[in-house]
Amino acid sequence: MSWGIRIIFLYVGFVGMIVFMVMLTMREKVDLVTPDYYKQELEFQQTIDSKERAHASAAQPTIGVVDGNLVAVYPDKSVSGKIAVYRPSDSGKDFEVAITVGEDGNQIIPGSRFVKGLYKVTIHWDKDGNTHQSEYSVYMP
């Protein structure tokens, strides 16, 4: 086999590899965090203010994973609002639940609603007529 044929094989192999890589990347699913991303961007100053209020508040809730369930702990039982759960890798796994504080100040979201992986949990809560927002990253086992 001459060196010219070897160069052609090398070139064809390289082009084939590039075409294969382009096909793989075109199949990758890319989702925005939320469908109304641009609307939320315009309201971003309100989000910053609500995060600052939450950070300064003694009633800021905490999030944790206990026995495979997501548990929100509220120091103040009189809060209201919603919990938004985002799965960065798959927007089909996103959901929202209303805040329902139990007698012990906890809210349990069953682990059956989750698949293994990383989630971003945002708690939008109202206290004394002011909105607050707390964000957490949680890995569900």
Q: Are residues 14 and 45 in the same domain?
A: no
Neighbours of 73 (CB within 10 A): 14
The residues, any chain, with a CB within 8 Å of residue 105's CB and separated by 6 or more, are 73, 74, 75, 77
Q: Are residues 14 and 56 in the same domain?
A: no
Checking if the pLDDT of 33 tops 70, the result is no
Q: Are residues 25 and 67 in the same domain?
A: no
Q: By the 8 A CB rule, do 97 and 114 touch? A: no
Range(s) of the domain holding residue 25: 1-30
Q: Are residues 23 and 56 in the same domain?
A: no
Q: Are residues 43 and 19 in the same domain?
A: no
Checking if the pLDDT of 49 tops 90, the result is no
Q: What is the pLDDT of residue 22?
A: 95
Candidate ranges 21-25, 33-37, 46-50, 126-130; pick with highest mean pLDDT: 21-25
What torsion do the CA atoms of 66, 71, 74, 79 make, to the nearest 10 degrees?
A: -170
Q: What is the pLDDT of residue 101?
A: 85
- Please tell me the total count of domains within the chain: 2
The span from the CA of 141 to the CA of 135, in Å, is 19
Question: 70: domain CATH number?
Answer: 2.60.40.3080
